Structure 1
Amino acid sequence: MTRTVYVNGDYLPETEAKVSIFDRGFLMGDAVYEVTSVLDGKLLDYAGHEARLARSLSELGMTNPISAEDLLAVHRELVAKNGIVNGLVYLQISRGNAGDRSFVFPDASVPGTVVLFTQAVPDLDWPTASKTGIKVIAFDDLRWGRRDIKTVQLLWPSMAKMAAKKAGCDDAFFVMDGVVTEGSSSNAYIVKGNKIITRPLSNDILHGITRAALLTYAKEAQFEIEERAFTIEEAQNADEAFVTGASTFVMPVVQVDGQPVGTGAPGTVAKRLREIYLDEARKAAI
């Protein structure tokens, strides 16, 4: 079955979808993106993703070429056209095609490029990794300083994931000034007793939509939240560790830089938080 995608107002077979070679997303990485999860055919945390998209565009001085109402309609239409029960909807908006290559932003009259596509992930709610846990390595955080803007500049995270793969692991914890910033595509946490510790929001980390929802649910479940940075050594000596993201929800981390975390197996807190998140997210899905 050929996947249907969306490009600048048109629904097309993926084999027919095209974007200009002069598009600034291709030439300059001048684009932002969002990934929204789909469970049971419904969109999770959509309002949060929509709000973060607006913030990312604003921080880069970009105008959203598609209305909020139309953008939601496109998400739903792609889910329906591609028969997505569990999966993801990827959205990317670039500054568009000015007809040539230049470091200078094009005139505001140049329309942005809007692309969306889906990916089916049947076991999105409970993949094998959520039951076995993942292993991470430490990796220097050399990204640009505005990680709070969700841009398509993902080369360094890709290099981190490849370094982890080469080391026989699954992912990486970025480290800057001796402390963990976040995962290569996730927010990072450790657990000590009933306390969940995670880095506070700043320009240094992505303002995770799953992070925001999970911390709200965790407080309601009587967990104590401490927002501060932690070291790799602290993570190795924690009771548990985990990461969160739109496509991973709550993923237990069982090894950090070659050292087991806790028992070396997924802990009860991460499992419970994943259950809580999935339950609440499904209730609020649209």
Structure 2
Amino acid sequence: MNFENILVTSENGIGQITINRPSKLNALNVATIQELHTAFENLDADAETKVIIITGEGEKAFVAGADISEFAHFTVEEGAQLAQQGQELLFDFVENLRTPVIAAVNGFALGGGLELAMACHFRVASDNAKMGLPEVSLGVIPGYGGTQRLPQLVGKGRAMEMIMTAGMIDAETAKTYGLVNHVVPQTELLEFVKGIASKIMRNSPVAIGQAIKAVNANFKDGVDGYKTEIKSFGKCFGTEDFKEGTTAFLEKRKASFSGK
């Protein structure tokens, strides 16, 4: 499928989505959000895709924010609708995807860009990355889940400071905060992330999908994460991957998972 704002490749079980608006520092507009939704949906439905990596084109930015020109004159109702549709189409969608999604954060990840990275299952940053939620400097707040996911990742106090100051933090600070798992030179970023992806791909796709569901349940209001874990744990017992994994262990060989 051809896209105007993103590039999508798939090789050796790894799907890669690259946001391709370098002249706009890969800023998110409505069209790009829709294209990203479609790309994630297609890769998740592809049984050959075991891990998805998302990154930005060029050396300057992962995503430098939302495209402000699109909503500068919105009404209250239009603003709320923009946030709701964006969360449903992309940010919540990515967070709950059964296929693991890794954000390879190259350069600036600001506003909607950081929100997109936070919606991924975990993040790796280049050493020149800068991250922040500058929305209050524009008279608005993060609307794509930033006020919820940032405190989950870095704690309430640090999140409050980052949001209220509208400031940026560097990659090493982000690592100290727990916002990213690793920091590597930009030239090594994608290969490093693909190395993590290869480790993930050794394991059961079905079990990984259930693990994502169980971990996410802990952060949903009104949902008992422990009960979700019990249910997901039980579901694994009815899968071919469970039979293969336990048989391989007992036979002292490497498992060959079918994802079923």
Q: TM-score range by the shorter chain?
A: under 0.3
Bigger relative CO (Cα 8 Å, ≥ 6 apart): 1
Larger fraction in helix: 2
**TM-score (structure 2 length as normaliser):** 0.28
